[in-house]
Amino acid sequence: MIWTVSQVAGMIDHTNLKAFATKEDFRRLCEEAVTYGFRSVAINPYPVALCRKLLEGSTVLTGAAIAFPLGQTTVETKVAEAENAVRDGCQEFDYVLNVGKLKEHDYDYIEREMAAMTAVARRAGICCKVIFETCYLTEEEIIEAARIACRVKPDFVKTSTGFGTAGAKKEHVALMKRYAGPNVQVKAAGGIRTWADAKAMLEAGATRLGTSGGIRIIEEMRAEGLEE
Instruction: Classify each residue of 92-101 as buried b or exposed e, where b means 16 or more C-beta atoms within 10 Å of its C-beta.
Output: bbbbbbbbeb
Phi, psi (deg, nearest 5) at residue 33? -60, -40
What is the CB-side half-sphere exposure of residue 163 using CA atoms within 13 A? Answer: 14
Which residues share a beta bridge with 26? none
- 10 Å Cβ neighbour count for 36? 20
103 is known as an active-site residue = no
Taking the CA atoms of the chain, what radius of gyration do you get in angstroms? 16
Selecting among 170, 177, 187, 199, the annotated active-site residue is 187
Selecting among 158, 170, 177, 199, the annotated active-site residue is 158
Selecting among 13, 94, 155, 197, the annotated active-site residue is 94
187 is known as an active-site residue = yes
**3-state DSSP call for residue 117?**
helix
78 is known as an active-site residue = no
Active centre residues (catalytic):
94, 158, 187
